[in-house]
Amino acid sequence: MINKSHVKSLVQQANPMPDATVDGLSARAREELADLVGSIETQPRVLARRSSRRGFLVAAVACAAAAAVTTVAVFALNDPKEPGGSHGDPMADEPYFGTTAELEDASVLIVRARLGAGHEETTDGLTETVATAQVLATAKGASPAGGRIELAYTTPGSGPETADLAAGKEYVLLLDELDGNRFTLVNTTQGVYGVEDGHAVPGEDNDVALSAGVLKALRLTS
């Protein structure tokens, strides 16, 4: 015959339900368990404690996942392969204008000029050429006093994106104004048109033509 007191002692020591709660047992099962181990209300609620720990772990994993998503999003926003990215070259941030109106509207001054000899200047680690240009005609902006402007531009051949400018030649210059009454090209690709036999000739990477009004004011044709 089984000694129930002995069984009760063994069951209590073994703790047969260390990872489960008794709340889901039937009434009969609860009675039989109570008969073996005593009042089931005294049994530790290990499951509840472990559930709390599991909830903490799930929350920690969720936070880590959210941080990873945020990191990816920030990286995507700063991806240098995206339009407007620097690509490691500060000149890559210059604007490009898709239409004649956008190009001419962005220009503070549009002139036909003959470029003089220049000299190099270095400011904040950036070396550029500064030259005086003799203005022959003005299509937009105020005609400069004395018919001359001071033009600052990236020295040709000093990087992957520089304007093809040479002293003694005529150009149509589309300009933005810098401090100190200096001017610079609106961009290296579209800020300069060569003048050849009375025509304004865009560079090979520029497919935007000048307007008829600007050409007429500069006494040129396309």
Condensed to tens digits (0 to 9), the pLDDT of residues 125-184 reads: 788 999 999 999 999 999 888 899 999 998 887 777 788 899 999 999 999 999 878 999
Burial class (CB in 10 A: 0-12, 13-18, 19+), 25: middle
Q: What is the pLDDT, as a whole number, of residue 198? A: 95
**Whether residue 60 has pLDDT greater than 90:** no
Q: Where are the domains positioned within the chain?
A: 4-75, 97-217
**Whether residue 81 has pLDDT greater than 80:** no
Q: What is the pLDDT, as a whole number, of residue 9? A: 52
**CA pair distance 151, 183, nearest whole angstrom:** 5
Q: In CATH, which of 2.40.50.120, 3.30.499.10, 3.30.56.10, 3.10.20.340 is domain 97-217?
A: 2.40.50.120
Q: What is the pLDDT, as a whole number, of residue 63? A: 46
Q: What is the pLDDT, as a whole number, of residue 77? A: 41
**Whether residue 19 has pLDDT greater than 60:** no
Could you tell me if 192 and 172 are in contact, meaning their C-beta atoms sit under 8 angstroms apart? yes
